[in-house]
Amino acid sequence: MDSLLVHASTPYSILIDFDLLSQSGPLILSHLDKKPERAVIVTDSNVAPLYLHTVQRSLEAEGIAVTPMIFRAGESSKRLKTVAQMYSVFSQAGLTRTDIAVALGGGVTGDMCGFAAASYMRGIRYIQIPTTLLSQIDSSVGGKTAIDIDEGKNLVGAFWNPALVLCDIGTLSTLTPHFFADGMAEAIKYGCIKSLSLFEQLEKQNASDFLPDMISQCIRIKCGVVERDERESGERMLLNFGHTLGHALEKYYHYEGLSHGEAVGIGMVLASRAGETLGITPAGTADRIAALLQKYHLPTSDPAPLGTLAKFALSDKKRLGSTVNFVALKTIGDAFVHPVPQSQWEAFVLGGASR
């Protein structure tokens, strides 16, 4: 088992291995300073038939009373209405600050359950059990929780660290090729911003051939960034490479059709083309990223109008005051934040990313 300790304001462990779901009860108890009496397992309608019984049985075997909360799968559920339903279930289950919420599923589940845990009774403990590649290597790590509103993705949320993250690699075997590819976009992003060696490994090998190692590499990269900049005041912004225009694409399609990973992949290509036009990113970078995205069956372009995407991006949380913090690449493996004045933002996107 690979075990990582995240040295955050509230430290927590990340465990990476196969068959962790069946051991989730004793593993959770071994990482909590006080045993919970009750737990609510938050999961979606896709994951519940696959894994809910296993986790519930393991917790109940440890003497913990379990209440499931199942919501309709999909990004469209990532709203305050669903979180309000979680509050009701938490209350009816009798959760107190010594009890736990368990996020069992992908990024939508983890983000919402984490936000509900952060705000219920002003904060209760929660456990992340991510079951998708994207959530294992990205959204379950770092303590960001959020929901979507009409104006944009993840605009309402809180920083709230989990008490434990259990990454059961075996759950990835039930992913469709589409959702596995979705997570690969984030793995490629880590290579782009922090690790040329990971990027080259993904080019030369198939990710499925070194999956546990790839997951560990990605999580270690993110842990390092989070430990150095937990509240995203500097280096952590680099994790948003591809996300500014990627989130705008998701909003353009009303969070349907185009997945998060697909949108981020396209956003990375657009960001690199803009950087090349400005002369801050070496020529050929965007084509190299696009080739790797295509290898893992991810799109590299979209017909959505760039002018509209530029306007949507102005409501994204990457904007500070009158400046958009645009993440660009000095080279693959080395990213930096390039501030763009709001007054120049649309021309920057249209002039750079459109070529």
Catalytic positions: 122, 144, 186, 222, 232, 236, 240, 243, 247, 260
The secondary structure of residue 236, as a DSSP letter, is G
The DSSP secondary structure of 164-204, one letter per residue, reads EEEEEGGGGGG--HHHHHHHHHHHHHHHHHH-HHHHHHHHH
Say how far apart CA 142 and CA 226 lie, in whole Å.
Answer: 6
- Pairing relationship of beta strands 152-159 and 100-105 according to DSSP bridges: unpaired
Tell me how far CA of residue 270 lies from CA of 56, 150, 282, 311, in angstroms. Answer: 43, 24, 14, 15
Say how far apart CA 117 and CA 261 lie, in whole Å.
Answer: 26
Stretch (H or E) spanning 165: strand 164-168
Say how far apart CA 70 and CA 73 lie, in whole Å.
Answer: 9
Say how far apart CA 43 and CA 135 lie, in whole Å.
Answer: 13
Say how far apart CA 13 and CA 134 lie, in whole Å.
Answer: 18
